[in-house]
Homo-oligomer: A and B are copies of this chain.
């Protein structure tokens, strides 16, 4: 088995595979030599290769766990090394068109299954990986009309063996859902920080737990979320447009001192939000 990108997610997949005694030999590949050396030292992988292509030779399972924007060039590189019967999965947070493109790049007899384990943390790198990262986590699997059903079953069982709850979703629906609950909230958190800090200079030192909660994800790496938002830009843009409309309505209520309208908008949100718990 080959893990491309032995970081938090890739390292945790490797550890979970080893814990379940699901493979005999794991090859690691990644950009950072120091991280790969640590992966060997920690016993997360059994060997490392200098190229992704070499890592994939003879692999039954290839896991794409590098940043999502690298998937297409990576697949272009490894395609000729993939052997019939192999299964390729990813662990990226963008699906949609990308899943169909990667699927179409697979050589004959090689099956691709798009996966998105909803697991992560602020930490990164192989040192942050654990064999329990996926326990109790949701893993979205995104089959297309061309997906091989046997490979789909095998991949589902694999994630379930890691402790995931597996749910199938259309790749486009996945990107719509995660634009709403993940990509768009990150963008808005960044925008709130800029608006507050630039409109009332010096105000942030008075921020309490409410402001901190609301903008905690604005501490996330800008590069990562820029890439995700750009890759899912049509959905994220739609969400931002929707929020602008909602804010314009609320601003109108403020400007006309329409307390009744504002109460109704706030209360609708409060009731909806309370349904998903703390």
State the majority secondary structure of interface residues on A. helix
The 7 A-B residue pairs with the shortest CB-CB distance, nearest first, are A222-B267, A222-B266, A190-B269, A193-B269, A180-B200, A180-B203, A195-B243
User: Which residues of chain B are within 8 angstroms of A226 by Cβ–Cβ distance?
Assistant: 259, 262-263, 266
Residues of chain A from 243 to 259 with CB closer than 8 A to chain B in the complex: 243-248, 250-251, 254-255, 257, 259
A residues in contact (CB < 8 Å) with B = 118, 138, 176-182, 184-200, 202-208, 210-223, 225-227, 229-230, 233, 236-248, 250-251, 254-255, 257, 259, 262-263, 265-270, 272-278
Query: What separation, in Å, do the CA atoms of A238 and B244 have in the docked complex?
Result: 14
A204 touches B270 (CB 8 A): no
User: Which residues of chain B are within 8 angstroms of A210 by Cβ–Cβ distance?
Assistant: 182, 185-186, 216-217
B196 touches A268 (CB 8 A): no
Known A195-B243, A199-B238, A247-B243; contact A274-B227, beta-carbon cutoff 8 A: no
CB-nearest residue of chain B to A221: B270
Query: B206, B227, B244: which contacts A248 (Cβ < 8 A)?
Result: B244
User: Which residues of chain B are within 8 angstroms of A238 by Cβ–Cβ distance?
Assistant: 199
A200 touches B177 (CB 8 A): yes
User: Which residues of chain B are within 8 angstroms of A190 by Cβ–Cβ distance?
Assistant: 250, 265-266, 269-270
Query: What separation, in Å, do the CA atoms of A227 and B260 have in the docked complex?
Result: 10
B229 touches A254 (CB 8 A): yes
Q: Can you identify 24 A-B contacts, CB atoms within 8 angstroms?
A: A181-B200, A181-B203, A181-B207, A181-B208, A190-B269, A190-B270, A191-B243, A193-B269, A194-B265, A194-B272, A196-B239, A204-B272, A213-B216, A214-B217, A218-B270, A219-B278, A222-B263, A223-B267, A226-B263, A229-B262, A233-B254, A237-B255, A243-B247, A244-B251
B189 touches A214 (CB 8 A): yes
Looking at the assembled complex, report how far the CB atom of A107 sits from the nearest CB atom of chain B, in whole angstroms: 30
B192 touches A185 (CB 8 A): yes
User: Which residues of chain B are within 8 angstroms of A230 by Cβ–Cβ distance?
Assistant: 254, 257, 259, 262
Query: What separation, in Å, do the CA atoms of A240 and B240 have in the docked complex?
Result: 14
Query: What separation, in Å, do the CA atoms of A138 and B195 have in the docked complex?
Result: 24
User: Which residues of chain B are within 8 angstroms of A278 by Cβ–Cβ distance?
Assistant: 212, 216, 219
Query: What separation, in Å, do the CA atoms of A241 and B245 have in the docked complex?
Result: 12
Query: B208, B218, B227: which contacts A269 (Cβ < 8 A)?
Result: B218
Looking at the assembled complex, report how far the CB atom of A239 sits from the nearest CB atom of chain B, in whole angstroms: 6
